[in-house]
Chains A and B, each alone.
Chain A
C-alpha cells in the first residue's frame, strides 16, 4: 500500500487471547512486534521467547519504549482501566479487548483519557470482522430484508469455558465475557440502541462444581425504534460437545430473513475419539499464523494507526454494550423490566 509505514506494537497481557494478538502482530507485514508484558512472568517469558521479542519487566517499561506506537491491551476483563489510562498517558494508540470495563464509570474515564491524550482507542468486538456477519450487514443496509422486526441470537459453550473464566467478572461473568459480543453486534446490525431489557438467569450446575457463576442468561431486548431481540447465553453444554462454541444470529425483517450460523461446522472429523468440528470460525490458522476475523481486526487497527484513519469500533461502541449488560444485570436482580442507562 502506498504511504503505509510499519507500526511498532506492544502487547500488554499475553494470556490465552493476548498471545494470539502477539502472534498476529508478529506475522502481519504491517506491524512489528517489539515486546510483551504479563503479570505472570513465566507466561510472559514463554511468549516473548517463542516470538523472539522483548519481555518487558513492567508495564511502564513497555510504555516508556519510544519506538512503540501502539499497544493491544488483553489483560483480564476486570483490570482494563489502569493499563488503558497508562497507555493513553504514554501517547500510545490502544486496541482494547472486550468487554471495555465492568461499569460505566471506567468506560467514561477511558474515553476521556484517550480524547485528552489524542490517541486512538479501538474495541476488540471481533464479530464486526466476521465475513458472514459483515456480508449480512451489507444486505440489511441495502434494504434486502426491509426493516428488522426481531432477532434471535445465542452463544453457548461447554462447561470448560466457565471453568476457565471463573467468576472473574462476578457471578454473571458470562454476561461480560460472552453476551457482550451479541450486545455490540445486535445494536450494530440494527443500527439502533437497546433501551429496555428484561432478563432472567438460571444457576446451580456450575455452582455445584464450585464455580460461582450463573449457568444461563435469557433476555428480551427492546430497541428504540421498535425492533426486539431474544438472546440465549448458556455455558453448560457437555464437554464432549463437538465445538468450542454454538452460536447463531437469525434476523427477521419486514421483507425477508437472514440466518447466520456463527459456529459453522465446515470441517468435521469422526474417529474413536468422538466427533469434533475442527473448522475455526474466527481465527482460523494457515500454517502457524492467523487468517480472517482476528487478523483482519488487528490489521485494520494497524492501518488506522499508520494512515491516521478513524477506528471502526470506538470507545462509545464499547460503552454502549456495557450499558446494556448492566441493565441486564439489574433486571436479573430486580426481576423487573429495566431501562438502559444512556
Chain B
C-alpha cells in the first residue's frame, strides 16, 4: 500500500492536532516532528511515540520525508516554508499563509522554483455545510448575490493565548482570513474595496496590546456587499468556543450556515458548554471531520499526483484583503485591495 511520509513542524495546540490526524490516516507514515520548545518536544515524543528531530534542518534533510505540515506561529511561517521548499518537500502551511503580501510572494516563488506543491490550510473549505452551500449557490438556488453577513468570535482566553505576536490587529490574521476565504469562495468573486473600524480597550485593560473587535464592510467586484465581524472579547465562560455564522442573501433566496453550538450543549456546575463543533472533534483519540478531511485530501492528492484543492494564490488573496483592512483601520478611509 502506497504511503506518504509526513512530518510536522511546530507542535503547539494546532500542530498537535495535525499529529493526531496523521497518526490515524492509513495512507500516512508520520515520521516525526520539530518544535523549538524542548519540553514540548519531549512531551509530544512521549505521548505519540514519534521521532523528535533536533533541528528543523535535520528534519528537512531526511530523505524519508515527502511532505510537511507547518504549524508554527502566524508570524513564523516564512522561514520554515522556504527551507521546506529548498529541501524539495511538499508543504501544507497553516493559515494565515503569511502576514504580508510580500512574504506570500516569496513563498509562492520558492515553491514554484522548487517544483513542490504548497497548500494553505483553509479549514472551512472542508466543512460539509459550506461545501453544500457552494453547490447550491453554483446551481443558482439563491440567484445572484446581494449581500453577505459573516461573523466569527472567540472568548478573551484566545486573545490572551497569542498576546505576544506583535501585530495589533492580530484578530484579522487569526480569524478574518477564514471568513474572507470562505465568502469569496462561496461568492466566486473577489473583494476589491474595504472600509473598516475597530474597538479597543477591553484587552488593553488586561495588559494585552490587541484590538478587541474589527467590523468591516467589503465590496465584491461584481457588486455584492459583505458585513464582516470578528471579536475576541467574549467572557471566558461564554458557552460557545467559536461563535460563527455566515448568511448569504441573493435575488432568489437565502442561505444560513450556523457553525456555533452544533447540536450539543451541556449544563453542569453552573457552566453552559456548546461542545459539538465539527472543526476537529477527537473521537477515541483520533481527530475526525473537518481537519481530518483536510489532511486526508492533502495526502491523497500528493499520493495520486492530483492538484491540491486550494491554490497558493488562494492563500495569498486573503492577506491582500487583510492588508487593505489594516490600512483602512489606520486611515479611516475606504481602501482598495491590492491584487
Binding site for B on A (CB under 8 A): 1-2, 4-6, 28-30, 129, 131-132, 134-136, 139, 144-145, 255-262, 264-273, 278-281, 284-287, 291-292, 296, 299, 302-303, 306, 312
Contact = CB atoms under 8 A, between A and B. Distances in A.
Given A258-B265, A271-B142, A286-B131, A1 B293 contact: no
Given A4-B26, A266-B258, A284-B132, 15 more contacts: A6-B26, A129-B283, A135-B281, A260-B264, A261-B263, A261-B264, A262-B263, A265-B258, A267-B129, A267-B133, A269-B141, A270-B253, A280-B132, A287-B131, A291-B290
A256 B26 contact: no
Contact of A271 (B141, B283, B292): B141
Nearest to B131: A286
Contact of B253 (A134, A264, A271, A302): A271
B255 A286 contact: no
Contacts of A303: 26
A269 B253 contact: yes
A333 B183 CA distance: 56
Query: Is the interface on chain B under 10, 10 to 19, 20 to 34, or 35 or more residues?
Result: 35 or more
A287 B288 CA distance: 17
Interface in B117-139: 126, 128-129, 131-133, 136
Contacts of A273: 141
Given A1-B25, A286-B126, A278 B136 contact: yes
A260 B141 CA distance: 30
Given A30-B27, A131-B281, A266 B267 contact: no
Interface of B: 1, 23-29, 126, 128-129, 131-133, 136, 141-143, 252-259, 262-269, 275-276, 278, 281, 283-284, 288-290, 292-293, 296-297, 300
Contacts of A135: 264, 275-276, 281, 283
A267 B132 contact: yes
Given A131-B278, A279-B132, A266 B259 contact: yes
23 contacts: A6-B26, A29-B25, A131-B276, A131-B289, A136-B264, A136-B275, A139-B275, A144-B268, A256-B268, A262-B263, A265-B258, A266-B129, A267-B128, A269-B133, A271-B143, A278-B133, A284-B128, A286-B293, A291-B290, A291-B293, A292-B128, A302-B26, A303-B26
B296 to A, nearest CB: 8
B248 to A, nearest CB: 10
Interface centre among B25, B266, B290 (most CB of A within 10 A): B266
Q: Which 5 A-B pairs have the closest CB atoms?
A: A271-B253, A284-B128, A264-B263, A256-B268, A30-B26
